[in-house]
Amino acid sequence: MITNTHKPIMVKEISSFLNKDKELSILDCTFGGGGHTISFLDLGHRVTAIDEDLNAQEIAKDIRKQFNKFNFFRHKKIPSLSKILPNYFVKVKQRI
């Protein structure tokens, strides 16, 4: 198990912008230690996260055990968002 020393900042401020009455699909492009992802999941939203760090992948495995609305993808080199987002939104639309 990886020790997560990452301390996310402005979690309350960021969460305050989210619609709490509707389940959102959120793409976390800087997963890191998963702090923001966990706060979004705690609010009932779906989260897909990406990161290139092996430690992040291990942290994501632990989070996945707790939340079924969470997906994680590790990329050796994170591609540009223009390559990721079209596929992401296709998957989101298929769930609706």
What is the residue extent of each domain of the chain?
24-95
pLDDT digits (tens, 9 = 90+) for 41-71: 999 999 989 888 888 889 999 999 999 999 8
Spatial CA neighbour of 72 closest among 62, 82, 80: 62
User: d(Cα 19, Cα 85) in Å, to the nearest integer?
Assistant: 21
Q: Under CATH, what is the fold of the domain 24-95? A: Rossmann fold (3.40.50)
**pTM reported for the whole predicted model:** 0.74
More confident: 90 or 74: 74
User: d(Cα 93, Cα 8) in Å, to the nearest integer?
Assistant: 29
